[in-house]
Amino acid sequence: MIAPDIPQNEKQRMLSLLSLGLLDTEQEDDFDYITKLAAYICKTPVALVTLVDEDRQWFKSKVGMALCETSRDSSFCAHAILTPDEILEIPDATKDVRFIDNPLTKMEDPVIFYAGVPLRTTDGMVMGSLCVIDHKPNKLSKEQRAALITLAKQVERLFELRLVNNQLEQTKASLTKHNTLLKDFAGTVSHDLKMPLANLILTSDILKKKYTEALDESGVNYLGYLKKSSLSMSNYITNILAHYESTAYDREDAHEFMFNDMLEDLVDLLNINFECEFHFPEVNIELRCNRSALDQIFLNLIGNSIKYNDKEHTIIHIDVIEQDNHFEFSIKDNGRGIEEEKLEGIFTLFSTAGHLDKNGEKGHGIGLSTVEKLVHNLGGTISVSSVLGEYTKFTFTVAKS
């Protein structure tokens, strides 16, 4: 017996093999379908997808073989990876100098005939082979060789998909880690800023009350600007926290409640002090979903419809349609509308339409991004339509719990 040589690029090959993450994993149907088809086409009792590790060959998929692995020194596939561009076919191993006295040829079901197609990754590294084995001398036909090569290409596709999936998992893990760090950072910074801002607001009120008579008009205005800016910054921080905490809402945390009753509670909470007309659904249907999340969504959307309405008389229509698997909600106002070119990015964090609200302040571009996250967490989607000067309409769905 002649032990197989070690490829010159062994170090790089092993790095590629480990990056696949396939060694010592469970059997998978996608690989097993290929080995079963290979055995059937080649009319052999054994078919294997092998991976040549540092000191062993391990079988990712096997048909007709009880062993899970063998030593690399006795491996036929370790010979096959030395000729990456061609099939290694051994008609009779007992007559081949490389395999005479090989332990695999002396088993109860010996490896006598072997044909293996090297399996490569996209970077050209050979991982192992797709091979077929017989317990007696044999030879593949031209058609069988072509079919085995084709099946090997499918195994290589599975390798490629595995690498892509591994990269996506790593990216997802990295994004999750960074998002957690960002959330923690936002929470820490926001907490540290809220108290000084509260002190600024309180101090400006005290100064204004105590020293109004000693200050001229400009001085009083400056104190007003100080309080207004502090309140704006406080609202901004509150919105940032709400955005990062929106993922905490779970669609499975469901409650039963009447939709119109919820809307009436929200309108009372908003404490609207100017003319505003609401049109609720004619039928007060019962919902079962996460009410806290739905409250947050409607508070934001109704609040926007009120704040950015340029009409003397604000009109808001709210409706709901029950479907088989979800509820579809809509809220439409008679406000100023949104420019068509700004609709596409309206849910992007920190993106704004650029309009001032009724108090002459510009939005921070956080609320609608938070709404979109909440809707997605509830298993739904959200869209917007608008005609400038006439209306804006938001339509979103929530999966039934």
Please write the tens of the pLDDT for every residue from 44-84. Answer: 999 999 999 999 999 999 999 999 999 999 999 999 999 99
What percent of the chain lies above the pLDDT cut of 70?
86
> What is the band of 153 on the pLDDT scale with cuts at 50, 70, 90?
very high
> What is the band of 212 on the pLDDT scale with cuts at 50, 70, 90?
confident
Residue 130: pLDDT over 90: yes
What pLDDT shows up at residue 208?
78
What percent of the chain lies above the pLDDT cut of 90?
52
Looking at per-residue confidence, does 43 or 357 come out higher? 43
What pLDDT shows up at residue 294?
87
What pLDDT shows up at residue 360?
57
Q: What is the pLDDT of residues 15-40, one digit of tens each?
A: 999 999 999 999 999 999 999 999 99
Report the distance separating Cα 209 and Cα 25, nearest Å: 73
Report the distance separating Cα 301 and Cα 322, nearest Å: 20
Q: Is residue 1 classed as helix, strand or coil in its secondary structure? A: coil
Q: Is residue 88 classed as helix, strand or coil in its secondary structure? A: strand
Residue 228: pLDDT over 90: no
Q: What is the pLDDT of residues 341-394, one digit of tens each?
A: 888 888 876 656 556 655 656 555 677 888 898 899 888 999 999 998 899 999
What is the maximum span of the chain, computed from C-alpha positions, in angstroms?
112
Alpha-carbon Rg for the chain in angstroms: 34
Q: Transcribe 214-261 into DSSP letters.
A: TS-HHHHHHHHHHHHHHHHHHHHHHHHHHHHHGGG--TTS-EEEEHHH
What pLDDT shows up at residue 290?
84
Q: What is the pLDDT of residues 253-285, one digit of tens each?
A: 777 899 999 899 888 877 777 788 999 999 999
What pLDDT shows up at residue 24?
94
What pLDDT shows up at residue 245?
58
Residue 180: pLDDT over 90: no
Residues 177-202: what's their mean pLDDT? Answer: 69
> What is the band of 146 on the pLDDT scale with cuts at 50, 70, 90?
very high
Looking at per-residue confidence, does 307 or 357 come out higher? 307
What pLDDT shows up at residue 193?
67
The domain limits of the chain are 10-160, 249-401
Report the distance separating Cα 205 and Cα 238, nearest Å: 21
Residues 323-328: what's their mean pLDDT? Answer: 90
pTM for this entry:
0.53
Specify the range with the lowest mean pLDDT, choosing from 38-52, 168-182, 292-306: 168-182
**How many other C-beta atoms lie within 10 A of the C-beta of residue 300?**
19
pLDDT mean across residues, the chain: 86
What pLDDT shows up at residue 188?
66
Report the distance separating Cα 20 and Cα 12, nearest Å: 13
Report the distance separating Cα 38 and Cα 16, nearest Å: 25
What pLDDT shows up at residue 346?
84
**All residues at 6 or more sequence positions from 163 whose CB lies less than 8 Å from its CB, including other chains:** 19, 20, 121, 122
What pLDDT shows up at residue 345?
81
The matching CATH number, chosen from 1.10.10.410, 3.30.70.1140, 3.30.450.40, 3.30.70.100, for 10-160 is: 3.30.450.40
Residue 291: pLDDT over 90: no
Fold of the CATH domain 249-401 = Heat Shock Protein 90 (3.30.565)
